């Protein structure tokens, strides 16, 4: 699983329900939910 930073918890956590998406500029990213508080999490990956 991927790890990301939760802004609400202010801690690094595993991203729950992570889906890989492509942003407008062509870069890949992971979009999911924080397992603790349920806030949306987003992690930018490298270029495609």
pLDDT at 40: 95
In terms of residue numbers, what domain contains 25? 3-47
Give how many domains the chain has, as a whole number: 1
pLDDT in tens, 13-35: 999 999 999 999 999 999 999 99
Q: Which two tokens stand for residue 38?
A: 């349920």
pTM (predicted TM-score): 0.78
The SS3 call for residue 27 is strand
pLDDT at 26: 92
Alpha-carbon torsion (46, 48, 24, 10), positive or negative: negative
Rounded to whole angstroms, the Cα distance separating 48 from 35 reads 27
């Amino acid at each position: 699983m991927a790890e990301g930073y939760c802004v609400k918890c202010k801690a690094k956590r595993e991203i729950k329900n992570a889906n890989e998406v492509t942003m407008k500029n062509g870069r890949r990213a992971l979009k999911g939910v924080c397992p603790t508080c349920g806030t949306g999490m987003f992690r930018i990956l490298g270029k495609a």
